[in-house]
């Protein structure tokens, strides 16, 4: 029967034609699952493909336990890849010329790519670039200097914290050549009894050799000695598997024999002269060596602070600091100051990574003592590595009343204030001190000095904050010592009178 006939005229309608087509439709992508990050390992824990001990305990799903300040100071861990943060501008006018660009590659990827210069001169299109070579470190007649050997951190009053590897009756001593004409560093081949916290000299040797092969040798030679199949690292791991101290020592001596002629014939110096910047894992290797020889043995002193006061110790980790330097555009011919510099980590990193004039001021006696130990070792150890660094200047006292601070602020290009735990009264004092900053100077803080959403108005036209344009950023996991998971904000306030002067002009007032 025809159920679709023409009900009006009785004529039969033409049967409609049906065309079939096959259309490919992309399947919807599943929502990404959140990445579960493991807590950071020990400061000298090797990367996954370089660990000496391949047996790992099952990871617990429990929340990360709270650590003491001393444990954080010893065990700062490996920094992880961060997502790219959004940029929020709290100025009265948007500024698109200062885009945010977070560090988006891991240490084993982007940071290990050598940046070479094809120019024989140190001139660039932006002016003179930083010199990395310390000429004195490559002179035969260089003056001898003292540094803390790895063996010093495992002997004397610290010997009881270590044991001989593989139940050896006696420990062995080995010397390691650095990429300069300095004397070699002495190491005792021992293991820490407390594997979680203490210094690991054998891993220190392995990581140092890997860094030297990566950044101080001609590229093809460096690839050979860092390759997973032919490099020193694989041979060290085999020696570890065999439990052979003798083979370990033989590999170190072979490395010394390879490096020494390259130092003498100028190859190492030439490679360093062609390098344009220090990569993060290189920076961390040097800073870790300094920290573990000076601060770690005395880290319990850092727990002696008064909770709830302005004098609370908190540490910013190297990857976060490196990102701050990049976002502020800090250059080697500029001035940096850390107000509340603690044990001096950031002050040293600025002098090493950027090569700028670097200042720090701290009022708590214990951190001041440790900072001075670090600064002394910094001068010697950077010479071991053949590096020319910026001058380090440490002050003791109250940042709000020290007589030298106003003069430094007048010259400063970047000011860092870790004001996470500062009281409102101290933040107000510091904000008023920033009136002395020159135009273009930047203040980095973990709490904003300019209230979020602030607008210039007739009622607040005299406020100090109107002289600053503020950008907001986000820091991520393992960036600070007091919160592993991160996901909090930090700020850059730039001294800029432009918006205030435009407001004054538009309202018939005199500009500044």
215 assigned to a ligand binding site: no
126 or 110, higher pLDDT: 126
CA-CA-CA-CA torsion sign (122, 127, 132, 137): positive
User: Is residue 177 predicted with pLDDT exceeding 80?
Assistant: yes
Which residues have C-beta within 8 Å of that of residue 89, sequence separation ≥ 6? 95, 469, 470, 471, 472
Check pLDDT > 90 for residue 376: yes
- 3 among annotated binding-site residues: no
Q: How far out from the chain centre does Cα 409 lie?
A: 24
pLDDT of residue 478: 83
Ordered structural domains, the chain, with CATH: 135-276 (1.10.260.170), 307-507 (3.40.50.150)
Q: Is 220 annotated as a binding residue?
A: no
313 labeled part of a ligand binding site: yes
pLDDT category, 338, cuts 50, 70, 90? very high
Query: Over the stretch 460-492, which tens digit does the pLDDT of each residue have?
Result: 999 999 999 999 999 988 888 887 776 789 999
Structure tokens at 403: 């007589």
| pLDDT per residue as tens digits for the range 396-411 | 999 999 999 999 999 9
Q: Is 346 annotated as a binding residue?
A: no
Q: Which helix (H) or strand (E) holds 128?
A: strand 127-128
Residue pLDDT, tens place only, 143-157: 678 999 999 999 999
Beta bridge partners, 414, equal: 336, 442
Cα angle at 12 between 8 and 15, to 5 degrees?
A: 120
Establish how many alpha carbons lie within 13 A of residue 507's alpha carbon, considering only the half-sphere containing its beta carbon.
Answer: 13
- Map tokens 């044991």 to a residue: 163
Is 341 labelled a binding residue? yes
Strand order through the sheet with 88-89? 88-89, 468-475, 488-495, 442-445, 414-417, 335-339, 357-362, 392-396
Supply the pLDDT for residue 67. 46
**Is residue 413 within 8 Å of 336, Cβ to Cβ?**
yes
Residue 421, pLDDT score: 83
Span of 329-333, 418-422, 495-499 with lowest mean pLDDT: 418-422
| Per-residue pLDDT, 511 | 61
337 labeled binding residue:
yes
Confirm whether residue 492 is marked as ligand binding: no
Contacts of 61 (CB under 8 A, 6+ apart): none
Q: What is the mean pLDDT of the chain?
A: 80
Q: Is 503 part of any known ligand binding site?
A: no
343 is in an annotated binding site: yes
Q: Which residues in 220-236 are b (16+ Cβ under 10 Å) and which e? A: eebeebbeeeebbbebb
41 is in an annotated binding site: no
When mean pLDDT is compared across 55-69, 158-172, 494-508, the lowest value belongs to: 55-69
Helix (H, G, I), strand (E, B) or coil at 454: coil
Q: Are strands 123-124 and 414-417 parallel, antiparallel or unpaired?
A: unpaired
Q: What pLDDT shows up at residue 198? A: 79
Confidence of residue 308 (pLDDT cuts 50, 70, 90): very low
């Amino acid at each position: 029967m025809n159920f679709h006939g023409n009900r009006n005229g009785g004529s039969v309608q033409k049967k409609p034609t049906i065309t079939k087509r096959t259309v490919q439709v992309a399947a919807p992508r599943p929502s990404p699952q959140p990445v579960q990050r493991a807590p950071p390992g020990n400061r000298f824990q090797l990367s996954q493909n370089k660990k000496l001990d391949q047996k790992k305990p099952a990871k617990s799903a429990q929340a990360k336990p709270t650590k003491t300040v001393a444990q954080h100071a010893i065990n700062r861990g490996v920094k992880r890849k961060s997502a790219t943060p959004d940029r929020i501008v709290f100025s009265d006018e948007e500024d698109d010329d200062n885009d945010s660009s977070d560090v988006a590659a891991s240490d084993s990827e982007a940071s290990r790519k050598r940046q070479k210069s094809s120019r024989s001169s140190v001139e660039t299109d932006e002016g003179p670039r930083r010199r990395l070579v310390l000429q004195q470190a490559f002179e035969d007649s260089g003056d001898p200097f003292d540094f803390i050997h790895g063996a010093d951190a495992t002997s004397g009053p610290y010997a009881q914290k270590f044991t001989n590897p593989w139940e050896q009756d006696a420990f062995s001593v080995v010397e390691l050549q650095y990429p300069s004409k300095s004397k070699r560093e002495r190491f005792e081949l021992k293991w820490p009894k407390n594997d979680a916290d203490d210094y690991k000299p054998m891993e220190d040797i392995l990581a140092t050799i890997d860094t030297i092969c990566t950044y101080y040798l001609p590229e093809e030679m460096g690839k050979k000695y860092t390759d997973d199949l032919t490099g020193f690292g694989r041979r060290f791991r085999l020696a570890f598997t065999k439990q052979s101290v003798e083979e370990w020592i033989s590999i170190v001596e072979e490395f010394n024999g390879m490096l020494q002629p390259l130092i003498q014939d100028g190859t190492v110096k030439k490679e360093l002269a062609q390098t344009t910047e220090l990569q993060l894992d290189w920076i961390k290797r040097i800073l870790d060596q300094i920290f573990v020889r000076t601060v770690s043995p005395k880290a319990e002193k850092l727990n002696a602070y008064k909770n709830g006061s302005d004098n609370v110790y908190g540490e910013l980790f190297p990857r976060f600091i490196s990102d701050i330097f990049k976002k502020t555009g800090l250059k080697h011919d500029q001035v940096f100051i850390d107000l509340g510099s603690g044990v001096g980590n950031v002050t040293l990193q600025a002098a090493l990574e950027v090569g700028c004039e670097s200042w720090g001021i701290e009022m708590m006696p214990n951190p001041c003592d440790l900072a001075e130990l670090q600064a002394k070792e910094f001068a010697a150890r950077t010479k071991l590595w053949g590096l020319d660094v910026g001058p380090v200047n440490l002050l003791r006292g109250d940042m709000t009343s020290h007589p030298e601070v106003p003069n430094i602020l007048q010259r400063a290009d970047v000011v860092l204030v870790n004001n996470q735990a500062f009281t409102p009264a101290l933040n107000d004092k510091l904000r008023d001190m920033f009136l002395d900053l020159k135009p273009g100077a930047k203040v980095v803080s973990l709490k904003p000095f300019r209230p979020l959403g602030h607008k210039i108005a007739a009622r607040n036209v005299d406020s100090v904050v109107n002289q600053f344009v503020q950008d907001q950023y986000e820091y991520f996991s393992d960036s600070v010592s007091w919160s592993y998971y991160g996901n909090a904000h930090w700020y850059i306030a730039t001294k800029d009178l432009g918006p205030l002067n435009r407001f004054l002009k538009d309202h018939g007032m005199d500009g500044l």
